[in-house]
Structure 1
């Protein structure tokens, strides 16, 4: 293929008053990112960083085994640019044979580098380096072999000049940016030939309001791949048609207040940014706009869509709390990975860490489950009221001490009836939270930090305030599942001194399934043509271990008092699904975890008082319970197929 050589920088004062439009042929989603990554939805690792230096970008690329797909200059600090960058793992569908990135270049230098590297641009970012001096940051890939494309680029031009170039070349835009010299606005662009595997139905528009962007996307059945904000708050954007073989789940969103909020949004939806634009908003704060494409496998996508029925807002955004789901075959691949590394409060599901730490001490020979155990019981009322109470260290006095359990019984009660008193007893036994956090670090639980006594739901006894900043117990569904897998395969806990056996005995072992899970088994058996007897036998042979968690608690108001009510639900453990191998019953073992956290509600359901009902909270809790069972559906189908 012949590469169209760099165009000379041309400046024009011509202003465009109307939107421009272009349309090419229709095709399918891209199977590789050899052209761009805008229309590839194969799951991969991705990263977005903001406010980083050139040295930091280089370091992060090495750490992540990644390549840049977009670079945006946020501004100049002490003479050096700070960047917002987007990168993907440079492997699989996203691998290219060669790529480069630069900044501080003149337009002529960009052309020289393209020539010397035999490369083409995938992103061109003009920026003011100071005093109206325009420089360029650029990302380019090798334009040889499998990545060779006919292409073109321009800068310092008007929208009309871009339209002329596209009309004469038959290219489609893959990058479009604006920049200013004084009050004059100019455009830069990168385009590829809209032919062969690169052919797509597409449009580009300039100077559009948010309402107009939405309307044009809807009328075209499009998917935004580039979103560039003008000084006046209007947008220039590129879209491709999102129908037929080119259809995929996708989102776009304006005005993220931070890079972390953008990342949280993407992870909760299981999507990958294909464009990120950083700018200073009218109130002086930095904001981020972004377009996203699906980044999930089939099972994760199904879980995202299932939870999305309840936990997405009316605009399709994941604004209703935090939701996560994770399922991994022990010793095998991850089956479901939805938002699995987002730190969140999980309530009592994190008692698994207390159990793991205790059993690792037993395995090491530095503790014994048959020794005396002390916990404190200072509240009157039913057992449920006493075990669910928030432990108050000020009331841990000799008169309230209980020694009626040995350590084994204390751990069993912690897990079987979710006793907060005995959970606190393990913390006292080992001298505070630090040993548990040390175990989390030692066992690779990178998203887990214990900060408060389970049962207290963000309450800070020291200040008397609701304080999630300092009293949130962080963990992730990936970490929760890792504990169970590591116990099952003995990588995190040996059976020395029967430690592994005792862990599993405390972790609520069970055989058989709930009515709700049996209903899913029955549905999948019917779909496979299996008999009701097979479905019943399958369900009767399922084995489980695990621990759930539940909070009705509050986020703070402006004074640190209980403000917005929220609910938290979680569960993690092991599930073994029966399979038949030559007619012989065997098992596939999976670790799992799922949660909803900080889901805002106007009230709480009180199961003990029927007169106190809260349909909103009940709806969310029910949706979580249903999703918990749906997590296993695809693997149940696979296991049933062997019967």
Structure 2
């Protein structure tokens, strides 16, 4: 085993050393990394990021090109026919995260790693030893240019023990940024990458090995730390590297030692507006692929604030998103995104989805293939009150002549679908055009997370079998729904009469509601503009559609296994700003927000019972409503500055 140690020039810095398993710590004034030149694990400027797993080197290269990205972490997923498959993490190679040059390699010997470093005048940010077969150790490596402003004193080791790492830290004053273990036979060795713990890179930090989850958690809490590197060992223990999460180096962060799938990993990050700074993968004793990760804030200030509102009810005691899906999205029309919290995750939204049916029908009208005054057919599925009938689950078995209704034309059918959320006329649109055609329109509109699968009003229940299945979920996203309103508003999807009809059907509203007016009043007071608050609120204009369900996730038999609620809303809001001449000049925003598959013990929807039947639902709805209005606070503040 080659145990050579490669050093780069460094300044000697005193570093205290304590042994307990292995702990090294140093105390410095912590600084947030202003850019990702050293590495990206203490940088929380929002950026694009991607994770891929089980991919070939060619697939990695393709993704890097498509995303204009650079690798920041490479893991060996498996060896297939002698060639490695990878799990990789990458970031957009621009702005704060841009580096003057970078390279990645695999299948290298330790000596070859050094050769490539010299050839590129580079510095390692990730070194991954792996068994290439037959006990032959090879390395995958990610390196960046170590020149100019990116130059750092640094070092790396491999084929060493934990005590040798400790000695190196003491002698060099360097700080660990990457730590891995590997085995040759029964012998365990470490590889490690360090950076000089000086100047802007100086941080208080610790490292520990052979920790249980409980032990690691205790160490993190005692230190007030933030993990920057995490590795699971074959015996189920963990090696951790952390920095002090305080001062300007304090960020929102999370770690999870066991994800059942890469989908769970990605959903977790997106739900929290977080970016993974470390990903590891392994196969457990049952032969199941698992993932673990460290995450750091990746949202702008407005997104983090909205996350905080949802956190009041939708995060558990450990700060994890275990209480359903929540999303929030706000975008200025023809401009940038202002709030983006999990906005691309597909979820059930109930009747907010009906805007897709509206869009399809009016595009047919615009194409001359349909007419607003043409006859429209729909069906009654229940007897009883009007509300009972309009809210019914459309059961195709009941679409018989006796239940057929022809008292509406197409325009009336669309209006009823949107204004009173009539499920009967919504089903009438599907019967008229077909679900395939409606989905095609969604695709053409760029709604990449949207798919119509079932009749709105039935939720996850199949009326033919009275069984529940999430395969019946109508998928869409907060961003997709907002996009419809933006592209109609800008006349990209509809023009002329069809565009006007869309806006007429989409529940136009004038003036701010009570909750929104309270936000306007508060923001106006902060600017000393209380006298303008009422006038400002009266000029608010809105269009949109909401949705609401109480349904069930199935158990193994397809019966109701867990009651869940769904609430949603999407649309367009005009916020009044003023020109320098005092003329109102609206700022237009599209929005989407939702909570979906939120577990509840009850629905609280029995009209025969007075009072609050289900406080759990009431509390969730209150938080959702608060977030729905808080979504606009920064936009309101900015517009008030012009008054």
From 547, 555, 559, give the equivalent of 1:549: 547
SS, match of residue 25 in structure 2: coil
Give the equivalent residue in structure 1 for 2:378: 375
Q: Residue 289 of structure 1: CA displacement?
A: 1.3
Match runs of 1:240-279 below 5 Å: 240-279=243-282
CA distance 1:194–1:428, shift in 2 (3 Å):
same
Instruction: Answer whether contact 2:571 2:592 (CA < 8 A) is retained.
Output: yes
Separation of aligned partners in 1, 2:565 and 2:55: 36
Partner deviation per Cα, 1:281-313 (whole Å, 9 max, x = no partner): 232211111111100001001001111111001
Give the alignment's Cα RMSD to 1 decimal. 1.4
Q: Residue 337 of structure 1: CA displacement?
A: 0.3
Partner deviation per Cα, 1:471-517 (whole Å, 9 max, x = no partner): 1100000100000000000112222xx01000000000010121111
Instruction: Answer whether contact 1:6 1:111 (CA < 8 A) is retained.
Output: no
Give the equivalent residue in structure 1 for 2:559: 561
Q: Residue 460 of structure 1: CA displacement?
A: 2.5
Where does structure 1 lack aligned partners over 5 or more consecutive residues? 8-15
SS, match of residue 116 in structure 1: helix
Instruction: Answer whether contact 1:389 1:420 (CA < 8 A) is retained.
Output: yes
| Bigger Cα displacement from structure 2, 215-224 vs 329-338 | 215-224
SS, match of residue 521 in structure 1: helix
Q: Residue 5 of structure 1: CA displacement?
A: 4.4
Instruction: Answer whether contact 2:348 2:474 (CA < 8 A) is retained.
Output: yes
Instruction: Answer whether contact 2:381 2:394 (CA < 8 A) is retained.
Output: no
SS, match of residue 171 in structure 2: helix
Separation of aligned partners in 2, 1:568 and 1:89: 34
Separation of aligned partners in 2, 1:566 and 1:545: 27
Give the equivalent residue in structure 2 for 1:481: 482
Give the equivalent residue in structure 2 for 1:127: 130
User: How high is the TM-score relative to the length of structure 2?
Assistant: 0.96
SS, match of residue 347 in structure 2: coil
Instruction: Answer whether contact 2:309 2:626 (CA < 8 A) is retained.
Output: no
Q: Residue 543 of structure 1: CA displacement?
A: 0.2
SS, match of residue 451 in structure 1: coil
1:597 aligns with 2:596: yes
SS, match of residue 639 in structure 1: helix
Separation of aligned partners in 2, 1:565 and 1:172: 50
Instruction: Answer whether contact 1:452 1:472 (CA < 8 A) is retained.
Output: yes
Give the equivalent residue in structure 2 for 1:453: 455
Give the equivalent residue in structure 2 for 1:392: 395
Give the equivalent residue in structure 2 for 1:414: 417
Separation of aligned partners in 1, 2:108 and 2:527: 61
User: How high is the TM-score relative to the length of structure 1?
Assistant: 0.96
Separation of aligned partners in 1, 2:329 and 2:545: 15
Give the equivalent residue in structure 2 for 1:507: 506
Match runs of 1:145-156 below 5 Å: 145-156=148-159
Q: Residue 143 of structure 1: CA displacement?
A: 1.0
| Bigger Cα displacement from structure 2, 506-515 vs 460-469 | 460-469
Q: Residue 634 of structure 1: CA displacement?
A: 1.1
Give the equivalent residue in structure 2 for 1:444: 446
Separation of aligned partners in 2, 1:164 and 1:464: 67
Partner deviation per Cα, 1:27-50 (whole Å, 9 max, x = no partner): 321111111000000000111111
| Bigger Cα displacement from structure 2, 539-548 vs 359-368 | 359-368
Instruction: Answer whether contact 2:102 2:145 (CA < 8 A) is retained.
Output: yes
Separation of aligned partners in 2, 1:104 and 1:182: 19
Separation of aligned partners in 2, 1:131 and 1:485: 58
Separation of aligned partners in 1, 2:230 and 2:625: 38
1:101 aligns with 2:104: yes
Give the equivalent residue in structure 2 for 1:629: 629
Q: Residue 20 of structure 1: CA displacement?
A: 2.1
| Bigger Cα displacement from structure 2, 347-356 vs 233-242 | 233-242
Give the equivalent residue in structure 1 for 2:347: 344
From 272, 293, 296, give the equivalent of 1:293: 296
Between Structure 1 and Structure 2, how many residues are aligned?
Answer: 628
Give the equivalent residue in structure 1 for 2:468: 466
Give the equivalent residue in structure 2 for 1:140: 143
Give the equivalent residue in structure 2 for 1:280: 283
1:79 aligns with 2:82: yes
Give the equivalent residue in structure 2 for 1:56: 59
Where does structure 2 lack aligned partners over 5 or more consecutive residues? 1-5, 11-18
Separation of aligned partners in 2, 1:417 and 1:463: 28
SS, match of residue 22 in structure 1: strand
Q: Residue 178 of structure 1: CA displacement?
A: 0.6
| Bigger Cα displacement from structure 2, 590-599 vs 182-191 | 182-191
Partner deviation per Cα, 1:111-161 (whole Å, 9 max, x = no partner): 111111111110000011111111111101111112111110000100110
| Bigger Cα displacement from structure 2, 610-619 vs 247-256 | 610-619
| Bigger Cα displacement from structure 2, 599-608 vs 567-576 | 599-608
Match runs of 1:200-215 below 5 Å: 200-215=203-218
Q: Residue 525 of structure 1: CA displacement?
A: 1.2
Give the equivalent residue in structure 1 for 2:533: 535
Separation of aligned partners in 1, 2:608 and 2:561: 23
Instruction: Answer whether contact 1:24 1:172 (CA < 8 A) is retained.
Output: no
Partner deviation per Cα, 1:601-631 (whole Å, 9 max, x = no partner): 1111116233471111111112111111111
Give the equivalent residue in structure 1 for 2:13: none
From 143, 148, 160, give the equivalent of 1:157: 160
Give the equivalent residue in structure 2 for 1:12: none
Separation of aligned partners in 2, 1:549 and 1:4: 61
| Bigger Cα displacement from structure 2, 206-215 vs 545-554 | 206-215
Q: Residue 425 of structure 1: CA displacement?
A: 0.6
Give the equivalent residue in structure 2 for 1:92: 95
Separation of aligned partners in 1, 2:339 and 2:248: 24
